[in-house]
Amino acid sequence: MATTNPKSSPTLLQPINPVGIVGYGAYVPRYRLPAREVARIWTGGKGSTPIKEKAVPGLDEDVITMSIEAARNALLRSQIDPCDIRAVWVGSESHPYAVKPTSTVVAESIGAVPNTQAADWEFACKAGTEAIVAAVGFVGSGMAKYALAIGMDTAQGKPGNALEYTAGAGGAAFLLGPAGESLAIINASYSYVTDTPDFWRRPEAKYPEHGERFTGEPAYFHHITEAGQALMQSMNTKPQDYKYAVFHQPNTKFPQRVAKMLGFEFEQIEPGLLVSVIGNTYAGAALIGLSAILDIAKPGDRILMVSFGSGAGSDAFDILVTEAVSDRQNRALKTKDYIARRTEIDYATYVRYRGKLASK
Amino acid sequence: MEIARHWRLKKQRYGLVGEVCPHCEAKIFPPRDICPSCGQEARDLYQFSGRGEVYSYTTIYQAPSGFDETAPYTVALVKLDEGPIITAQLTDLEDDKVEIGMPVEMVTRKLRTDGDERGLLVYGYKFRPFQNIPQKNEALPH
Ligand SMILES: [Zn+2]
């Protein structure tokens, strides 16, 4: 069970120079596997399904190609010279290589090489927000003008397992830069981390395992509420101060319940709640919810985002939308455009697309 | 194994980077350092927009080795907005019927695996039907 060191009090993460989001971009592949298709194969179509459908990558897609498109959308919105990007950091559970960075291919593809940091981040579903915290520090210290942080996944569930209904594909890229150029300022963040055995995958295993009794209360709910409450307490804010909130979304129930626990109304989380139509996008989940919110946000809107990564930890962010948002929203495809671009597939096609067929 | 060739071609393959002729302004792809229009030296890098249209196409059912995992697939001659005609796979087609003159845009995708499942993944440009950017602000449907 997670315990808190009584001596440590919540301390906000705030850089010396204010930092914000200068560009952002989403990506969702076009294929959809309806949950009823999974149920048709494994339960004879009986029983309820946790979501409507999930996004599935095409045969020529992976975290590298999906990150490239999200990054290009972020660049379209920011209109900066990619040569000024000093870090390309990609958080994922499904990097195509065990050894060889996703981030170098992404950096090369968007023209950010060679004067840049590049690395892949790993912390289950919060690898992407961890990269954002680091990017805020990198920009806020004055070491970099811009840093690109991406959360992207092509999640896999064991055939017939509950996770197979929800393990989706997608994510978003965020270009961090000086607050003065930003469409949304990151006022502060706060991270809450413990060693909790709720979910893991060993290197040789294709599919993840979960520690049944650890998945809900001691993991997801504990970390998100601790991080969210500490952030609001230190910022001296209430749930009503935020126009929108977005939480990690492994299914439809968890984010709705954690929102209620923290004092948020459904209307605040609805625009960023995408899991029912794209599935759980793991390291991309909270971030693509944020991109959907930024697509419709107005200047002055305040947003609370709290991610969750198994193992376990949460990053909470207090975000303030600026005047610059209105011009930049329309410079690239929006999250809903990707969600609307939809080709339904059956279970057999899904099995082929996800490489679940063994031919040797 | 063709690792050196993949490495040498990465810029043009990932991002459609070609050349522009300093003498007659012709845009050149793939880069060849000599302008095909005026025959003079042309080494200035040029980032293509990625926009173009289908000039001609065919569907491959019997794919060469390395591409068999994704067969059947459609290969097209794409006329780029800047002029050059290049050969590339089309992707994300499903419901869209391919037509000559169809507007397309470049995306970077996985082309193939070099060798078996232990080999290098090769990425490069493909083209998909052009996705219009709608100019409206609307909430997501639920
Ligand atoms: Zn020339």
In a domain, A118, yes or no: yes
- pLDDT per residue over A21-46, tens digit each? 999 999 999 999 999 999 999 998 88
Whether residues A157 and A251 fall in one domain: no
**Distance from B137 to chain A by nearest Cα, in Å?**
6
In a domain, A89, yes or no: yes
- pLDDT per residue over A92-132, tens digit each? 999 999 999 999 999 999 999 999 999 999 999 999 999 99
How far CA A270 is from CA of A174, A246, A252, A286, A320, in Å, comes to 21, 9, 11, 13, 18
Tell me which residue range forms the domain holding A137: 19-182+333-353
A185 CA distance to ligand 1 middle (Å): 47
Whether residues A43 and A63 fall in one domain: yes
**CA nearest B112 in A: which residue?**
A60
Q: Is A212 a catalytic residue?
A: no
pLDDT for res B96: 65
CB A275 within 8 A of CB A258: no
Range ranked top by mean pLDDT from A44-58, A97-111, B84-98: A97-111
Q: How confident is the model at residue A359 (pLDDT cuts 50, 70, 90)?
A: low
- Residue B97 per-residue DSSP state: P
Q: Helices marked H in chain B — which ranges?
A: 3-8, 10-15
CB contact under 8 A, A105 and B123: yes
Tell me the chain A residues in contact with residue B95 when contact means C-beta distances shorter than 8 Å. 343
CB contact under 8 A, A30 and B94: yes
Q: Does A248 touch chain B (CB under 8 A)?
A: no
**Exposed / middle / buried, residue B33 (Cβ in 10 Å: 0-12, 13-18, 19+):** exposed
- Provide the mean pLDDT of chain A: 94
In a domain, A4, yes or no: no
Q: Does the global pTM surpass 0.90?
A: yes
CB contact under 8 A, A68 and B14: yes
In a domain, A359, yes or no: no
Q: What is the ipTM of this complex?
A: 0.92
Amino acid occupying residue B41: E
Above pLDDT 70, what percent of chain A? 96
**Distance from A113 to chain B by nearest Cα, in Å?**
10
DSSP string, A199-256: EE--TT-SS-EE-GGGSIIIIIIHHHHHHHHHHHHHHT--GGG-SEEEE--SSSHHHH
In a domain, A40, yes or no: yes
CA dihedral A253, A255, A258, A260 (to 10 degrees): -80
- pLDDT per residue over B100-124, tens digit each? 999 999 999 999 988 877 889 999 9
The structure tokens listed for A122 are 């790993």
The closest of A70, A53, A52, A57 to A294, measured between CA atoms, is: A70
pLDDT for res B95: 66
Give the span between the Cα atoms of A56 and A355, in whole angstroms. Answer: 12
- pLDDT per residue over A268-312, tens digit each? 999 999 999 999 999 999 999 999 999 999 999 999 999 999 999
Whether residues A341 and A305 fall in one domain: no
CB B6 within 8 A of CB B12: no
Whether residues A188 and A178 fall in one domain: no
Give the span between the Cα atoms of B131 and B14, in whole angstroms. Answer: 19
pLDDT for res A7: 46
The structure tokens listed for A55 are 């996004």
The closest of B108, B23, B113 to B68, measured between CA atoms, is: B113
Whether residues A56 and A122 fall in one domain: yes
Whether residues A68 and A160 fall in one domain: yes
Q: Is A210 a catalytic residue?
A: no
- pLDDT per residue over B14-69, tens digit each? 999 999 999 999 999 999 999 999 999 999 999 999 999 999 999 999 998 888 88
Q: How confident is the model at residue A355 (pLDDT cuts 50, 70, 90)?
A: confident
Whether residues A136 and A197 fall in one domain: no
CB contact under 8 A, A330 and B107: no
Whether residues A31 and A150 fall in one domain: yes
CA neighbours within 13 Å on the CB side: how many for A174? Answer: 34
In a domain, A148, yes or no: yes
* More confident of the two residues A26 and B95: A26
How far CA A298 is from CA of A73, A78, A103, A243, A327, in Å, comes to 20, 17, 32, 10, 11
Considering the candidates A37, A69, A93, A164, report the single residue annotated as catalytic.
A93
Give the span between the Cα atoms of A269 and A251, in whole angstroms. Answer: 14
pLDDT for res B1: 52
**Distance from B5 to chain A by nearest Cα, in Å?**
16
How many Cβ atoms from other residues are within 10 Å of residue B59's Cβ?
Answer: 13
The structure tokens listed for A295 are 């697509």
Amino acid occupying residue A128: G
pLDDT for res A46: 84
Q: ∠ at Cα A170 (B63, B59), nearest 5°? A: 20
Whether residues A42 and A174 fall in one domain: yes
Lowest mean pLDDT among A185-189, A279-283, A305-309, A353-357: A353-357
Q: Is A95 a catalytic residue?
A: no
How many Cβ atoms from other residues are within 10 Å of residue A311's Cβ?
Answer: 20
In a domain, A206, yes or no: yes
DSSP string, A241-256: G-SEEEE--SSSHHHH
Q: How confident is the model at residue B140 (pLDDT cuts 50, 70, 90)?
A: very low
**Distance from A211 to chain B by nearest Cα, in Å?**
31
The environment of the single-atom ion ligand 1, i.e. residues with CB closer than 5 A, is B 21, 23-24, 26, 35, 37-38
Q: Does A60 touch chain B (CB under 8 A)?
A: yes
In a domain, A117, yes or no: yes
CATH number of the domain encompassing residue A85 = 3.40.47.10
What is the number of domains present in chain A?
2
Amino acid occupying residue A102: T
The structure tokens listed for B131 are 């996705």
Whether residues A27 and A154 fall in one domain: yes
Whether residues A196 and A165 fall in one domain: no
CB contact under 8 A, A334 and B142: no
**pLDDT > 90? residue A5:** no
Whether residues A143 and A257 fall in one domain: no
How far CA B76 is from CA of A1, A277, B54, in Å, comes to 58, 32, 6
The closest of B69, B80, B96, B20 to B88, measured between CA atoms, is: B80
Q: ∠ at Cα A299 (A295, A303), nearest 5°? A: 65
The closest of A286, A297, A290, A188 to A237, measured between CA atoms, is: A188
**Exposed / middle / buried, residue B9 (Cβ in 10 Å: 0-12, 13-18, 19+):** middle
